[in-house]
Amino acid sequence: MKRVIIIGAGLAGLSAAMELAKQNIGSELISPLPSERAQSVLAEGGINAALDLMGEGDRPAEHCADTLRGGCDLADPLAVQSLTAHAPELVKSLSALGVPFQMEGERLVQRNFGGQKKKRTAYAKSSTGKAIMTALIDEARKYEAAGLIRRWPHHTLAELCTEDGNCTGAVICDNYTDSALRFSGPVILACGGLNGLFPGRTTGTTQNTGDAAALAFSRGAAFGNLEMLQYHPTTVAISGKRLLVSEAARGEGGRLFTVENGHRRYFMEEKYPELGNLMPRDVISREMALLDGQVWLDMTGLSRAEWTKKLPDLRSELKHYLNLDPAKEPVPVSPGIHFFMGGILVDRTHAASLKKLFAAGECACQYHGANRLGGNSLLGAIYGGMAAARSAALWASEHREPEQLGPVTPQPETPGFQAKLGDILYGGLAILRDEATLTGALSRLEELSSATLTEAERRRLELGRAMLLSALERRESRGAHTRTDFPERNDGQFRKTTVAAIRNGAVQISFIPVPEGGEAGAS
């Protein structure tokens, strides 16, 4: 049996493994923790598909247009067209696997989400990611029993093997025994976002360290749009991280306000009367960054039934961590890093710049442009995983058992490194940026790089440098990237993908045109 190596057992990795299994191709599914612990389980609000179940005449073409517009015209139009065209059948197939999407009688219902005028988001209360993951984990189990998917839980990627610009395999390390194994074959990276570069400052998990992506970067893989960090407007600080208050809260009627002279000012509704509190996330976060004073999210207008039927987990989380009942009082919110639109640069087939290396899910730069719409991440992860699997299948090699490499001595972390790197990047890559803060952050990074660091830390640092340089070179404002010194969007010069890659030992930044025309390879 032929096999493909998959790094990451979240939604994109699972989706890739199952797509391969359907083609009778095996996979080695490698992850530090089981799928139940993947960040995908945190996705709350829903998954977009123009199923047109709400009588609004929704069409995939409108979903495509909204996604491209929301991404401020940086996403590949044909890739997005393919994604959105396949979304309805994909959501139906999830329903067939038993994902408990919200129903009224025998009919699936959809909710409003940001940046979209039509009710297009299918959801499972406020735990859609968890519900989808549960169904896919069960489905993958069927293929595990058939020997098609072989899981390697408690294993971490230690090395990406490359030869003459080809990815030839991966070395993984057993976190329980510190022993290493080498697999040969094409590799799909489905390793999630770069949260580890911003410890404690994102809504993601501690397991999304960014180390696997940083390995790919160090081995020459090109990255795209690294400056595009999504700040979600409604997060709250809890111990060790940011807690997301789902966009669904606003989809169901939650309102943002600030207090001026003792009066509430519903600033989003005032400035954007059509979409109001459901403007895309980049717009709301920017408005909040420009305001003085605390912003509150008022969900007290939601009915008891809406809390029970649509947002029960959100309410219990806020009660537990903030000791505050959102049904009774407004929640103080502020923007927090939530999603990385940028990542490993892939084409429409999800192939990376290294041959036989593929990427899907949040670690890949695809579909979301300069700003991701809520409800498109689950969709992009599943569809991207499928597309990457089809491409990797063409290179799948006859199975060989992994080579045992013996014990690895774990390198102890440099005390304080992670926090320092996080401080520098967070300072440079705030919602509002300018040349002075970015060059200042780069200087501080240079100081940090002179310390004695482990190899993994040095790789993280270089990826961080690539983020700062990408943000410095994009001298315009677009989507999640707001330069106060270049406040206008500049299509002539910058309707392009920022490409960061290590060439001759240093991070190089260039710009390539957003793909247009041709056939959608991932369809």
Partner 1 sequence: MRLEILRRKSAAETPHIAYFDYDPTDSTETVATALTRLNETLPDPIRWECSCLQRKCGACAMVVNGRPVLACGAQLLEYKDKVRIEPLRKFPVVADLIVDRSILYENLSALRCWMSAEADMHQRAADLGYEASRCLQCGCCLDVCPNFAPGGDFSGMAGAVPLSRLLAELPEAELAELSEQYRRHFYAGCGKSLACRNVCPAGIGVDALLVNSNAVAVWKRLLRRKRI
Catalytic residues: 281
Q: Which residue do the tokens 């993958």 mark? A: 140
User: Phi/psi at 440 (nearest 5 deg)?
Assistant: -60, -45
**N-term to C-term CA, the chain:** 26
- Cα–Cα distances in angstroms (integers) from residue 441 to residues 38, 421, 432, 450, in the given order: 31, 10, 14, 15
Q: How many residues sit in the footprint of partner 1 (CB under 8 A)?
A: 51
Residues 313-372 that bind partner 1 (CB under 8 A): 313, 316-317, 320-321
Contact stretch for partner 1 (CB under 8 A) within 142-150, 292-300, 331-339, 461-469: 142-150
Using CB under 8 A, pick the residue from 97, 394, 436, 512 that binds partner 1: 97
Contact 443, 335 (CB under 8 A): no
Nearest to 195 by CA among 227, 155, 238, 229: 229
Contact stretch for partner 1 (CB under 8 A) within 215-223, 284-292, 310-318, 431-439: 310-318
Q: Does 41 bind partner 1 (CB under 8 A)?
A: yes
Contact 207, 259 (CB under 8 A): no
Residues 177-236 that bind partner 1 (CB under 8 A): 205-207
- Encoded one letter per residue, x for contact with partner 1 by CB under 8 A and - for no contact, window 151-170 reads x-x-----------------
Closest approach of partner 1 to the CB of residue 95, in Å: 6
Closer of 141 and 264 to partner 1 (Cβ): 141
Tell whether the torsion through CA atoms of 214, 216, 217 and 222 is positive or negative: negative
Q: What sections of 303-405 are H helices per DSSP? A: 304-310, 312-322, 376-393
Q: Does 394 bind partner 1 (CB under 8 A)?
A: no
Q: Does 39 bind partner 1 (CB under 8 A)?
A: yes
Closest approach of partner 1 to the CB of residue 97, in Å: 6
The strand pairing partners of 343, in sequence order, are 224
Sorted by sequence, the CB contacts under 8 Å of residue 178 that are 6+ apart come out as 407, 408, 409, 410
Residues 247-286 that bind partner 1 (CB under 8 A): none
Using CB under 8 A, pick the residue from 53, 64, 135, 357 that binds partner 1: 135
Q: Does 101 bind partner 1 (CB under 8 A)?
A: yes
Q: Does 31 bind partner 1 (CB under 8 A)?
A: no
* Count of CB atoms situated within 10 Å of the CB of 153: 17
CA distance 83 to 520: 10
Q: Given the rule CB under 8 A, which residues bind partner 1?
A: 33-34, 36-39, 41-42, 95-106, 108, 124-125, 127, 130-131, 134-135, 138-139, 141-142, 144-145, 151, 153, 176, 205-207, 238-241, 243, 313, 316-317, 320-321, 415
